[in-house]
Amino acid sequence: MKANDVILQTVSKIAVFIILTYGVHLFLAGHYEPGGGFVGGLVLASAFVLLLLSFDIDTVRKGMPIDFKLLAAVGAFLSVGTGLAALAFGVPFLSQTEVSATLPILGEIPLASVVLFEAGVAFAVIGTVVTIIISISEDV
Amino acid sequence: MLNLAIVSPFIIALIVPLLYKSLKRVHTGWFVLIVPIVLFLYLVQFIPSVASGEVYIYEVPWIPSLGINFTAYLDGLSLILALLITGVGSLVILYSIYYLSKERESLGHFYVYLLMFMGAMLGVVFSDNLMVLYLFWELTSISSFLLIAYWYHRRQSRYGAQKSMLITVTGGIGMLAGFIMLSTMMDTFSIREIIANVAAYTDHTLFIPAMLLVLLGAFTKSAQFPFHIWLPDAMEAPTPVSAYLHSATMVKAGIYLVARFTPVFGGDAVWFWVVSLVGMITLFWGSFNAVRQTDLKALLAYSTISQLGLIMSLLGIGSAALYFDAADTASAMYSIAIFTALFHLVNHSTFKGALFMVVGIVDHETGTRDIRKLGGLMAIMPVTFTLAVVGSFAMAGLPPFNGFLSKEMFFTAVLDVTQLSFFSIDTWGMLFPIVAWVASVFTFVYSMILVFKTFFGKHQPEKLEKTAHEAPIGMLISPVILASLVIVFFFFPNLLGEYLIKPGYAAVMPTFVGVEGYDTQFNISAWHGFNTELLMTLGVVGFGVVLYQLWPKWEGVYALFPRKWTLDNLYNRSLLTLENQSTNFTNRYMTGNMYHYMVYIFIAILVIVTGVVAYTGAISIDSSNDAPISIYEGFIAAVMAVTALSIPFAKSRLTAILLNGVLGYLLALFFVFFRAPDLALTQLVVETVSAALFLLCFYFLPEWEKEARKPRIKVMNAVIAVSVGTLVTLLALSVQNNRFFDSISSFYENAYELAGAQNIVNAILGDFRAFDTMLEVVVLLIAGLGVYVLIKLKPKKEERGQDVEGE
């Protein structure tokens, strides 16, 4: 990227955290409100895209040593894996279940196995989007 | 639990790479060996109860709504095969520990493939559900492909792997079609239910096609003529693999399938003729060609083809019994052929497994398998020599080895065929004993070649790559065990018969269990008096010796078959032609021009959708129930229309991208209006990310030039564009009035009860249609990897030469 991106870089540093928080919120809120693994993943990915746009790839990579290809693969396996896990409990493939846990301070928290499934979706989305963008932008 | 037994090799296969990496000092085979041994011991405990007529069924629901369940079914037939798979599997793995060097070979891969194969094979023999059976069936093809191509740096290995894959998978797809026909006929995927209900469907129009397609699968898998050509090329695999896949187990999947479906199709003339004739032809052709092989493994490959043909023909002959009433004494005479088939199946696994290991030892210790270079190894490798004698003489059908017993019974069966008087067999019946006898002579000859050319004669150390010496003890254990079984089964055949073969027979011929004289007919005896069978055997030995001695004199017979006319050549040529033609054809429409592709896609949509719409009369526009259009919606729609229309007239690429983005954001606004925040959110983020991607990509593209097109083409483009637009609009307008399915809004009401989600969209994505979502995630991953591979692995700039511009 060209020099003199000070404003963009400074704003990005702050914006990225907001976007990331929002992405996580979207992901967690998905079961009851708008959101979910796909959108959450996309928002998180867009935060990385913003970072990539305002800084260069090497900087981003040093700051976040994540192999996004691996992340995408882990996501896909996680989604398939939660489906398979259902078989171990003797219920059909991809059956989801939900339990509630009572935690101090936070009160009753519902825990659904669908969260794992959605996490897989989110990982796959983040991994794929960022992999594509990095691959293309590196190909100069 | 049986289902777990099937799945366990796959689970262990996941751990193997870790073991291979972290425990490098120990041969990975030792860990893997535990799996088949444990499974074998687990299965052994079923023998007594299965022998007393019990069957076991374990069911795990998989796709219950379609009737597809992972049902493991254990009866006599599947038990025989499963014991072979795990028993021979243990021995083969033990053997492979000494055969494959842990320094030089990538054992991690090898054992993963082998375990995959073992699990798939167990799945095939235990599955009661046709779809699950098919799944495992193809998995055996895939894992065998990987095993044959294990030494993938050799061109021949890749060729052999591709050949076996193409042939067996083609057969498998045919079989799938047959299965689907069967299940549509009888409305079930369960083999047990099909067998129970088959009587009412034998006149169904799909009955014969289904039968032939199932046979196609069985014949390709079991290397029956003319599909046998893949088996000799599969010998490029490491010898333990050949011993396991290509003699003891995988090729027997086809035999298993024919046996399993005998109660369904048996008794029909077509089944009888196809199975027994193909078996007979294979028997003869395999043995005839085995004689001329100079590579020991190729000789064994043709011998396996021939022996599989023998078992197949026995199954065909035995199926004739189902034509009669079970109580008929005549039928019992033919049904004994089924018993013989299963008996020979076990015998063949013992002696052929041992022989493959012997050949592997010879190869391993001398560096060659060419019989022209071998000779005089008897003194150097005494143990191996003894094993070879035991195996070969059993294969040739000589006493005191188990092959003698089953071969005599085979002769009995073919002699009995001549007495049949139905299926218009009277005219051709005599062919059976004649072909069987001639094939046996050749079998005798190649068995002798195997022993005498390798172990007798002059030792020629200068032609060998290594100094020959006896194999290490570990490599000898497995063939010694198999060879001992060869002898044990000769002296105690009824033990085997009573506990394994009879229950297997009962599984193939359920209607014959308990009829009069049922129990007395299974007595195998080594001495059956001076009868025709014995005379035939004496003739085989006599003629065999003569032919063996005179081999140089009649070698020329093989030259009579022109090389050009072989099936191998046909296969190679058709493959080449297919490749060239499809390349030509593909190049014609895959022009690399985006414009052409878009035209194809739109014309296809127009033709197909307009055709369907016109055929079904689906267009019916009724706006009386539609919600009123508010002024905001109208305004946005108008802006969208203007934006869309202005894209083709944009002067620069950037403008076009931005206009496209405007379209996307306006659409998101629509979603907001119609209270679909999820969609709006997704649309917004997707639009943003893809705009970024677009900009990134277009930065590298050359300047946008307006393409000059002829007016005629421009008019055509306009026509296509307007037609597609009109069509889609009409479809959208008539969607409201055509409801083929119940509205999904009922899920909106009970999403919380069913999925615990207040967000219906998420409930659909994560629960109701999670299968779609899961596969979408996988597709996304594949697409991402595709982009990555395309970009990262393309030739480097200097390799690409001058055609790189704009960089």
Do B203 and B223 meet the contact criterion of CB atoms below 8 Å apart?
Answer: no
CB contact under 8 A, B762 and A45: no
Give the phi and the psi of residue B202 in degrees, each rounded to 5. -65, -20
For residue B682, the chain A residues in CB contact (below 8 A) are 38-39, 42
Provide the pLDDT for residue B526: 67
How far apart are the C-alpha atoms of B561 and B153, rounded to whole Å? 33
B277 closest CA partner among B238, B246, B245, B317: B317
d(C-alpha A38, C-alpha B562), whole Å: 63
- Chain B residues inside the 8 Å CB shell of A70: none
**Residue in this structure with the two tokens 């049986």, named with its chain if needed:** B2
> Chain A residue with minimal CA distance to B701?
A140
Q: Is the distance from CB of B792 to CB of A135 less than 8 angstroms?
A: yes
Tell me if chain B has a CB within 8 Å of the CB of A37.
yes
Residue with token string 């928290």: A109
Determine how β-strand B56-63 pairs with β-strand B68-74.
Answer: antiparallel
Tell me if the bond preceding A92 is cis, omega within 30° of 0. no
Q: Are B362 and B452 in contact (CB under 8 A)?
A: no
- Going from the C-alpha of B589 to that of each of A33, B438, B716, the distances in angstroms are 48, 55, 18
Q: What does residue B73 show for φ and ψ, rounded to 5 degrees?
A: -130, 120
Other CB atoms within 10 A of residue B260 CB: 25
Model pLDDT, residue B171: 92
- Please tell me the predicted confidence (pLDDT) of residue B640: 92
- Kindly give, in sequence order, each residue whose CB lies less than 8 Å from that of residue B739, ignoring residues fewer than 6 positions away: none
Query: With an 8 Å Cβ cutoff, is A23 touching chain B?
Result: no
Residue B796 burial (C-beta neighbours within 10 Å; 0-12, 13-18, 19+): exposed
How many Å apart are CA B411 and CA B777, to the nearest integer? 59
Q: Tell me what pLDDT residue B212 has.
A: 93
The two tokens of residue B224 are 């029956």
Inter-chain residue contact A69 with B685, CB threshold 8 Å: no
pLDDT tens for B352-398 read: 989 999 988 888 888 888 888 887 788 888 888 999 999 999 988 88
Contact B246, B235 (CB under 8 A): yes
Chain B residue nearest residue A115, CA to CA: B766
Residue A103 has pLDDT above 70, yes or no: no
Its pTM stands at 0.77
CA distance B381 to B364: 12
Q: Pseudo-torsion of CA B436, B438, B441, B445, nearest 10°?
A: -120
pLDDT at position B798 is 53
Contact B689 A42 (CB under 8 A): yes
| Bridge partners for A108 per DSSP | A102
List average pLDDT for each run of 10 residues in chain B, which is 807 residues long. 84 83 79 89 90 85 81 89 91 89 80 90 91 92 90 88 91 93 88 86 86 92 87 85 80 90 86 90 90 87 91 89 70 80 90 90 85 81 89 87 87 81 68 88 90 82 77 87 90 84 85 70 71 83 86 76 76 89 88 85 92 82 78 91 88 84 90 86 86 75 72 88 90 78 75 74 80 88 88 65 43
The tokens for B382 are 């005494």
CA distance B187 to chain A (A): 21
Decide which of B170 and A106 is more confident: B170
**pLDDT value of position A18:** 92
Angle of the B677-698 helix axis to the A37-54 helix axis, nearest 10: 30
Residues A36 and A41: their CA atoms lie apart, in Å, by 8
Give the position of tokens 């990915």. A45
Interface test with B, best of A129, A138, A140 (most B CBs within 10 A): A129
Residue among A43, A79, A91 whose CB faces B774 most closely: A79
CB of B437 closer than 8 Å to CB of B355: no
Q: Do B765 and A37 touch (CB under 8 A)?
A: yes
Lookup: tokens for B588: 């014609």
For chain A, helix (H) and strand (E) counts, in that order, are: 5, 2
In DSSP terms, which residues pair with B60 in a beta bridge? B70
- How many other C-beta atoms lie within 10 A of the C-beta of residue A86? 17
Query: Measured between alpha carbons, how far is B580 from B571 in angstroms, rounded to an integer?
Result: 14
> From CA B194, how far away is CA B197, in angstroms rounded?
5
Q: Using one digit for the tens of pLDDT, what is the confidence trace for A40-62?
A: 888 888 888 888 888 888 888 88
Question: Which of B102, B44, B46 shows the shortest CA–CA distance to B75?
Answer: B46
Residue B741 token pair: 């399915």
Q: How are beta strands A107-112 and A98-103 bridged, if at all?
A: antiparallel
Reading the block at residue B356, the tokens are: 């493959």
- B787 vs A42, A110, A132: nearest CB: A132
In chain B, which residues have their Cβ closer than 8 Å to the Cβ of A80? 774, 778
- Residue B805: closest C-alpha in chain A: A140
Residues contacting residue A101 through CB under 8 Å, at least 6 positions apart: A108, A109, A111
Residues A56-90 pLDDT 10s? 888 888 888 888 888 988 988 888 888 887 777 77
> Contact at 8 Å (CB) between B219 and B276?
no
pLDDT for res B503: 86
Q: Which two tokens stand for residue B488?
A: 């044990």
Concatenated DSSP letters of B428-453: TTTHHHHHHHHHHHHHHHHHHHHHHH
SS3 call for A118: helix
> ipTM strictly over 0.95?
no
- Name the token pair of A105: 């301070």
Q: Which residues of B touch A69 (CB under 8 A)?
A: 784-785, 788
pLDDT of res. B797: 55
Mutate to test the interface with B, among A25, A39, A50, A134 (most CBs of B within 10 A): A39
